[in-house]
Amino acid sequence: MKFNTKTIHGNQQHDPSTGAVMPPIYQTSTYAQTSPGNHKGYEYSRTGNPTRTALENAFASIENGKFGLAFGSGLAAIDCVLKLLNPGDEVISTNDLYGGSYRIFTKIFENFGVKFKFIGMENAGNIENYISKKTKLIWVETPTNPMMNIIDIEAVSKVAKKHQVLLAVDNTFATPYLQTPLDLGADIVMHSATKYLGGHSDVVMGALIVDNKELADKLYFIQNSCGAVCGPMDSFLVLRGIKTLHVRMQRHCENGKAVAMFLVNHPKIEKVYWPGFENHPNYEIAKKQMRDFGGMVSFVTKGNNIKDAFKIVENLKIFTLAESLGGVESLSGHPASMTHASIPKEEREKTGVVDSLIRLSVGIEDIDDLIADLNQALNLI
Ligand SMILES: *Cc1c(COP(=O)(O)O)cnc(C)c1O
């Protein structure tokens, strides 16, 4: 089955009791048993719920994995992965990453004795310098947030396999429309389904997808033991979102490209970060590993002035200034004071997240309106 069919039909079946084409929202916490332990596969909705099962099956299908798990948020999914570890274990992570991931790593799991090393992974060979006997997990985000660096997943997976370290990829930005990390050798794919998978800015949710049964069982055990699951209504919404993922992503990519091209030619712009530019330092990897370049674009204005950045985001009319990304509507963000405020200024600036950086999540509105909006805001500085 091809991707555009999987988003709609992958691992799905009509409701066995009524033939309902969409799975009902099974708004129930528990399930009747005919005698103790004798039930129809569901006992309690933390452990499993049919609407969530339908969604978890869809997650697995679109990421080319065998097992999917749904959580109450992307961070709950990350939390589940980190609970595979023990005190003393080490994690190597990309240094340019989602602020909340950095926060859970350093402010929560370091307290439990897990150590984190944040490094550039554009050159996968560099990772070996940081691997020790205690290294248990490599954490990769690509494209990175918000600098749009591209990490070669296949090259990193070779290093991970050589040292028998798990490789997890946060695929939130790319989505399986653009890249399927399990096919490139990753062990775990993670999503903030809040973003493109849900796609309509109406739900917070996380996902994990794996191919290995033993690993899946460990993760299911943690999911059930720690309980950060999502409810049936949210499962239904994300399942509905996934059905249009491919058409939305196609438009996100088209509009993202047009916005990147407009900005790069604009006299007030210093630099645009978008992996589809031929002079992007990781362009060749992006072209090899991704089917298109996505709808996320970051830029810095000339003069690197925070006042200009604020003026732009405050005056955009169609782009809403808001946290998050990946919805049908265009959003703007100021990483230094919003998504990345939890990362210390020196750390942040080392990776390029300067005070004047603006990040756009380009939506699927008419491109002429989006460009006119950017143009009027840029003319104010
Ligand atoms: C939003 C986001 C997360 C966290 O997900 P939540 O659903 O907000 O908990 C993790 N990684 C990336 C890349 C994100 O954009």
Report whether residue 75 contacts ligand 1, using a CB cutoff of 6 Å: yes
Please give the distance, rounded to the nearest whole angstrom, from the Cα atom of residue 267 to the centre of ligand 1: 33
Report whether residue 206 contacts ligand 1, using a CB cutoff of 6 Å: yes
Q: Is 44 a catalytic residue?
A: no
Measuring from atom 7 of ligand 1, which residue has the nearest CA? Answer: 74
The CA-atom distances, in angstroms, between 342 and each of 104, 105, 133, 185, 223 are 10, 12, 30, 31, 26
CB 294 within 8 A of CB 142: no
Report whether residue 98 contacts ligand 1, using a CB cutoff of 6 Å: yes
Calculate the average pLDDT of the chain: 96
Task: For a ligand 1 pocket test, name from 103, 195, 205, 342 the mutation site with the most ligand atoms within 8 angstroms of its C-beta.
Answer: 195
pLDDT in tens, 231-251: 999 999 999 999 999 999 999
Please give the distance, rounded to the nearest whole angstrom, from the Cα atom of residue 68 to the centre of ligand 1: 17
Report whether residue 276 contacts ligand 1, using a CB cutoff of 6 Å: no
**346 band by pLDDT with thresholds 50, 70 and 90:** confident
311 burial type by CB count under 10 A (0-12 exposed, 13-18 middle, 19+ buried): middle
CATH number of 3-242: 3.40.640.10
Q: Is 98 a catalytic residue?
A: yes
Catalytic residue chosen out of the listed positions 15, 31, 42, 46: 46
**111 band by pLDDT with thresholds 50, 70 and 90:** very high
**99 band by pLDDT with thresholds 50, 70 and 90:** confident
Q: Give the E-state strand segments of 27-161 in sequence order.
A: 67-71, 90-94, 115-119, 135-141
Report whether residue 340 contacts ligand 1, using a CB cutoff of 6 Å: no
The confidence score (pLDDT) of residue 351 equals 81
Residue 245's nearest CA partner among 298, 171, 178, 320 is: 178
pLDDT greater than 80 at residue 145:
yes
Catalytic residue chosen out of the listed positions 170, 234, 355, 373: 170
Please give the distance, rounded to the nearest whole angstrom, from the Cα atom of residue 98 to the centre of ligand 1: 7
Report whether residue 142 contacts ligand 1, using a CB cutoff of 6 Å: no
For residue 133, give every residue at least 6 positions away whose Cβ sits within 8 Å of its Cβ, in sequence order, or none. none
Extract the tokens encoding 298.
């970051």
Report whether residue 101 contacts ligand 1, using a CB cutoff of 6 Å: yes
Report whether residue 74 contacts ligand 1, using a CB cutoff of 6 Å: yes
- What is the 8-class DSSP label of residue 105? I
**175 band by pLDDT with thresholds 50, 70 and 90:** very high
pLDDT greater than 90 at residue 167:
yes
The confidence score (pLDDT) of residue 345 equals 87
Catalytic residue chosen out of the listed positions 26, 98, 196, 273: 98
Its CATH class, for the domain covering 246-378, is alpha beta
**Ligand 1 atom with the shortest distance to the CA of 326:** 15
Please give the distance, rounded to the nearest whole angstrom, from the Cα atom of residue 324 to the centre of ligand 1: 8
Report whether residue 73 contacts ligand 1, using a CB cutoff of 6 Å: yes
pLDDT in tens, 254-300: 999 999 999 999 999 999 999 999 999 999 999 999 999 999 999 99
The confidence score (pLDDT) of residue 344 equals 85
Q: What gap in Å lies between CA 102 and CA 231, rounded to an integer?
A: 26
Catalytic residue chosen out of the listed positions 52, 83, 136, 195: 195
Average pLDDT over every residue of 145-164: 96
For residue 2, give every residue at least 6 positions away whose Cβ sits within 8 Å of its Cβ, in sequence order, or none. none
Report whether residue 194 contacts ligand 1, using a CB cutoff of 6 Å: yes
pLDDT greater than 90 at residue 342:
no
Q: What gap in Å lies between CA 247 and CA 196, rounded to an integer?
A: 11
- With b for 16 or more beta-carbon neighbours within 10 A and e for fewer, the 190-199 pattern comes to bbbbbbbbbb
Instruction: Report domain extents, the chain.
Output: 3-242, 246-378
Same CATH topology for 3-242 and 246-378?
A: no
The confidence score (pLDDT) of residue 212 equals 98
**Ligand 1 atom with the shortest distance to the CA of 204:** 7
pLDDT in tens, 49-95: 999 999 999 999 999 999 999 999 999 999 999 999 999 999 999 98
The confidence score (pLDDT) of residue 169 equals 98
pLDDT greater than 90 at residue 314:
yes
